Chains A and B, each alone.
Chain A
């Protein structure tokens, strides 16, 4: 866990970490080796839990003293009681779930807030790739061929905002990111962000 031992956190994870209030209860879905959980625990006193699909990730996280279970977003979120967490985080994983809509609903049931990031299929480079080459786009952030990609439910930022509306989810904050996970000089994920953001990062809450 290089990211853990030298105290640095991947830039997009750092952005997420900054959105989490100190001392809160966090569930990180698809937590990998637990870099974000570890950072949140050490610097913000967060009570963190994780779910990770890969055994290697789970093993590394638990061996590092983190509370992580082997499981996946599609099947394991339903067990948790409502309101068990302050934040449920899903970073770069929504597009790899079988039922993104159900996953999102569960996240906002068991968490007061959800923090979600995903690659934006509406980015101009993706559109151009499909338009000019007529083939499924393979880019830095979407680095798979169509036949071996774990990403089975791509969406654009606009698609995602539509789903949030359908589900009665409030977008508290949205941050358009470039391919390196750096913030773009666009105020939110509304409008032109769908064309220029490589990724979208959202803080969501239940309406009402």
Chain B
């Protein structure tokens, strides 16, 4: 850990913790831009033990945030993994110290395109540098430095969070004792890039987007962002899940109306998903973060051979996929497992039977939770973590 700059202090308020990083030592982004200072909003749960060995970094997905187990400040809904976090739960707060930060480019407190560029006093908008998964991880690593933690006991995340997990394991192998990439991939597939492009085009086609300068214009491209969310939301579910939930059921009516109103429940549901999403998410953030996922290709970054990303690794991996996930299908997880096998890494791999699609990692899946608990248990035994995590409880 190099900590030449003055130690920044975190501030806490009702919305969580916040710290400014990289004021004296800017963060060099993959695109070549030096970015700093960077505000990082984060949340912690549990207590760091004396030898700082019980920290788990949770990486959130595309539209997630650091409110893992707190009510969301805008929607008021429970945190996205609140079922998994708490005393005696999968991520046992009596045992582990959990950290989750809003990603770089995000819109929930960490520096992103909706924040003001200090140099101009105007919102960054499209002048914000294009970021990568690797850049997000660099910022997280600075936060972990700031918290005085050399090695994370575990880095875990689903979807884009799982991409960050893989990037962590490749960039900082000595700092990652165990890694759990869930419903993830080592690269974004052509199909996934295609879906993202549809979402971005929907945003940019909205006149209220104003070439990215909507904040200066006092507007928001709500319609475009809502369509982007609707399209993306379909990819998070499975066909059986959609069918089970809605079938061809009509919405508050007995017959079709021969019009373009939301006749079907599934339409109404998607419109609701779209319209609530725009209250909590920034359109330009959506452009930047989807782009970061598109650019992710861990094999390409390592001479075209995915196994090179993990050569010599001592990290214990647990790769998890879900049977009905067609956005990040099991074959993508299996490719990661094959690469890890090729370097004789310590890896577990479980494909969880679920009909809930990609979103299964956010939902109540007992077998998934048992897998996480068991893997963490095994890793904790190898790390020599006492049952109370050494937190002295």
Contacts and interface: CB of A to CB of B under 8 A. Distances in A.
Interface of A: 47, 49, 55, 58-59, 61-71, 76, 79-81, 84-85
B346 A67 contact: yes
B365 to A, nearest CB: 11
B341 A76 contact: yes
B378 A66 contact: yes
26 contacts: A49-B347, A55-B353, A62-B374, A63-B374, A63-B375, A64-B374, A65-B381, A66-B378, A67-B348, A67-B378, A68-B348, A69-B319, A69-B341, A69-B348, A69-B349, A70-B349, A70-B350, A70-B351, A71-B337, A76-B341, A79-B341, A80-B341, A81-B342, A81-B343, A84-B344, A85-B344
Interface of B: 316, 318-319, 337-338, 341-344, 346-353, 367, 370-371, 373-375, 377-379, 381
In the A-B complex, the 8 residue pairs with the smallest Cβ-Cβ separation, listed nearest first, are A65-B378, A63-B374, A69-B349, A84-B344, A79-B341, A62-B348, A63-B370, A79-B338
A62 B344 contact: no
A67 B180 CA distance: 13
B374 A65 contact: yes
A66 B348 contact: yes
Contact of B349 (A58, A64, A84): A58
B347 A67 contact: yes
A112 B227 CA distance: 57
B371 A63 contact: yes
Name the residue among B348, B351, B353 with the largest chain A CB count within 10 angstroms: B348
Given A58-B349, A67-B348, A80-B341, 12 more contacts: A49-B347, A59-B350, A59-B371, A63-B374, A68-B348, A69-B319, A69-B337, A69-B348, A71-B337, A80-B342, A81-B344, A85-B344
Contacts of A79: 338, 341-342
Nearest to B375: A62
A65 B374 CA distance: 5
Nearest to B377: A65
Nearest to A85: B344
Contacts of B378: 64-67
A142 to B, nearest CB: 30
A76 to B, nearest CB: 7
Given A49-B346, A58-B349, A70-B351, A65 B375 contact: yes
Given A79-B341, A80-B342, A62 B350 contact: yes
Name the residue among A61, A68, A79 with the largest chain B CB count within 10 angstroms: A79
A58 B338 CA distance: 16
B338 A62 contact: no
Contacts of A76: 338, 341
A69 B349 CA distance: 4
Contacts of A67: 316, 346-348, 378
A54 B100 CA distance: 34
A59 B370 contact: yes
A26 to B, nearest CB: 12
Given A79-B341, A81-B342, A62 B371 contact: yes
A135 B14 CA distance: 76
Contacts of B346: 47, 49, 67
A55 B343 CA distance: 24
A53 B94 CA distance: 35
Contacts of B342: 79-81
B182 to A, nearest CB: 13
